[in-house]
Structure 1
């Protein structure tokens, strides 16, 4: 038999324009509005078609380096009642990776209370001029209610201080903090008792949840399963995606600088048996790879059923996008799509699971959509694998001036060959159709319909 799969074709549809270098965006729990963070420290609220300034942190951050500035924002799960939110940024003068807590005004939902509280400051290596990059960092509240923080290895090239492997340092790590006390004096946060190095006698920082990361600029939790997905930017050859089942990342070593992707970078210092290998990697080229990965999100919305369960990830420079999901046999299906716009700095999950992308270069937030334009309403489209052939079936609810259906197949979901055709019934209320595609060998096949109108024009299903 042959395996049958669907590879949805994605597109970006602008929903917010007029931004200046947006880098992160979050839909606040219990609020429903999207809060957009710009690299210059300005946080703006999307109110329908308009933008409202929420906070301006420009005076406390530095943007001297291209990877400096406001990095990320996260809203406490109880934001609707406690009004607390958190930001990650590089501090003015020192460049330190800084976590701070702020509070929304009690009476005006479009502004914040004066002053914030710095919870954690991670110094950068000296001299700062050589270490402005690799700050991470994305902050997210996990399913367990704790705040997770990704940090880069501190910068320069090749992690010269081997900081990502040094568990006495907070650089190159995934941190996990309990920030739920909202303390106004030190300690401003607590260490979850289940963190892997609590009470250790080796000098390891107890904030560490996992280590061995180079620059995990963007990462996410699967809202359905709690699995962790991390996009880690490579040094010079490989960009990588790491997947960790819910709860299994504790104490894990992602391998940098011993490994870049699945490949040895600096021999020694890591064991293959104690490192987490990437589930996907790509090389430094524009045809089927890129230069800088932007970690994505698993789609769990309802508007795009063809995308359900796919992890969507992009490259910032090449614009290539990948859709990744389990293949049902312990491995992964990975589908590449070329030709999309570059400069995607992050992805956003809406309140109901719909996906958005952040285009830093264009100053936009885009809705992620699938393309499907056909001259009929197709109510179902399925394919069943059999020995020696695949049975392709579809039904239409409406047909207007439709003359013929062409069944096309391919092995990559991008390039297709026509298998055959079926004439349209001519019934304006729709009909049911089937086509038997004889096959000679097993393999992964994709199917689509080319729908020909009476005037000869042809459009395609997903």
Structure 2
């Protein structure tokens, strides 16, 4: 009986469509141009490097290299057609943890089928493999290799590496791979910012990073831009400058995080753009657009979000971001962007393994007037006022419920038609056998959870319903057994004072102050702020 279909927001100006219909990769995580050739080179997370043509009519995918490691990045030397060098960032679980992240050079043939010689591997770097390994590799306009490293810990920079320039972690590195120095398989550019600091690693170009997830160079200016994945509240876009300190983990973006921690040897740089986790959850850095197909976006930095599938843009002028906008809301797990030889920008989808392009949305601005604006319109309840679910909507409970600010929770599930829940191994984010067993839900499933709270502590008769949250399931294109091949869209309905119905909360969510009678509080009452989540949350 569910009438939850689509989304309530008017479609945005752009949508995405598959650009290379004949190419499908396996869990791709990074893409670059294969320098001097009309090909792309791609890193596949589960151990592969592949090459395919920029010609959209081609269906050839060349198996360049397979390694028994997790792969996070790949880049081709600017003089690839002469030397055949590619650089690959991998995580080697057979190595000790302190040296498990590698950047290696391989030699491959410079013409199709671009086969690598595995024995040619030359390891340039080894650093800690931990929660954040970094991995983005790109060559700058200066011919140097730039490498992103994460803070190595995963939670709150436990190693305090963000502001520590004595190690490689939490940084963008810049090295000269055309020369060597001593035992290093690379040289340090003379103008690297910390070469004169005896306590610093001279490879560091910028620091104070948590986990840069993709950086790029403006094709026309050479300016370095990066998307930075935050922890608790913020996702950031930074304009990277030489020697810049980007704050982690004293700050998260422009906001205090662990202000008591010592600061590294440079003042903090401010983000150009920040997205609260109401909006973005896991940013993916993109490119400044210089293509011809979408002239209205010329000069705009295009970037996205892995978790929400949103694509956003801004134009940088006079030291500030202007015309900030979210221009597309997709079902794509945006893991990387690529600027082709013709300057067009494409989105790489982790799940389907395909490249997408932005196109104008003919439905832009047309609201979905059929989306339920009230809980009574969802078809999920026989009686909303009495909180009785419709026939076929199944109450359930969980073995270990979370504590939710003293609220009680009432859960239901609506499975469409004769669908059923399958129990099997998922493949995201790890491949079996490491992947935990997961449940697969039929397309259109709705999970329902109502939050209620006692307005007088200890008096069940005082319980009032605050909100009913819906999670609406949509399958994505891609591997059928992939946890990542699904979207759960979230909506919350806020109950009225009469407890007869609930209305759809705004896109951005809201907070509401409650008054709770509590004998243990001063004056017998206390205030409690209840947060109604945004769609992205």
Same fold (TM over 0.5): yes
Contact 2:245 2:266 survives alignment (8 Å)? no
Contact 1:13 1:369 survives alignment (8 Å)? no
Who is 2:109 aligned against? 105
Who is 1:361 aligned against? 351
Deviation at 1:351, TM superposition (A): 0.9
What does the per-residue CA deviation read over 1:43-76, in whole Å, with 9 as the maximum and x for residues that have no partner?
Answer: 22224432333323322x1xxxxxxx21111111
Contact 2:81 2:110 survives alignment (8 Å)? no
Who is 1:168 aligned against? 166
The verdict on how the C-alpha distance between 1:206 and 1:292 changes in structure 2, with shifts beyond 3 A counting, is same
Query: CA separation in 2, counterparts of 1:153 and 1:211?
Result: 10
Contact 2:51 2:64 survives alignment (8 Å)? no
The verdict on how the C-alpha distance between 1:265 and 1:102 changes in structure 2, with shifts beyond 3 A counting, is same
Contact 1:152 1:217 survives alignment (8 Å)? no
1:122 paired residue among 113, 123, 127: 127
Query: CA separation in 1, counterparts of 2:33 and 2:328?
Result: 29
Query: CA separation in 2, counterparts of 1:272 and 1:337?
Result: 38
What does the per-residue CA deviation read over 1:356-408, in whole Å, with 9 as the maximum and x for residues that have no partner?
Answer: 1110022211123334699xxxxxxxxxxxxxxxxxxxxxxxxxxxxxxxxxx
Over aligned residues, Cα RMSD in angstroms?
Answer: 2.4
Query: CA separation in 2, counterparts of 1:99 and 1:13?
Result: 31
Contact 2:14 2:358 survives alignment (8 Å)? no
Deviation at 1:302, TM superposition (A): 1.9
How many pairs were matched up? 344
Deviation at 1:90, TM superposition (A): 0.9
Query: CA separation in 1, counterparts of 2:194 and 2:225?
Result: 22
Query: CA separation in 1, counterparts of 2:28 and 2:86?
Result: 18
Who is 1:93 aligned against? 94
Who is 2:211 aligned against? 215
The verdict on how the C-alpha distance between 1:359 and 1:113 changes in structure 2, with shifts beyond 3 A counting, is same
Contact 2:16 2:358 survives alignment (8 Å)? yes
Contact 1:312 1:322 survives alignment (8 Å)? yes
1:22-37 aligned at under 5 Å gives the runs: 22-37=28-43
TM-score (norm 1): 0.70
Deviation at 1:273, TM superposition (A): 8.2
Structure 1: gaps spanning 5 or more residues: 1-6, 62-68, 125-130, 375-462
TM-score (norm 2): 0.60
Bigger RCO (CA 8 Å, 6+ sep): 1
Contact 1:315 1:342 survives alignment (8 Å)? no
Who is 1:54 aligned against? 63
The verdict on how the C-alpha distance between 1:77 and 1:272 changes in structure 2, with shifts beyond 3 A counting, is closer
Contact 2:170 2:207 survives alignment (8 Å)? yes
Deviation at 1:328, TM superposition (A): 5.9
Structure 2: gaps spanning 5 or more residues: 1-11, 365-537
SS of the residue corresponding to residue 81 of structure 2 reads helix
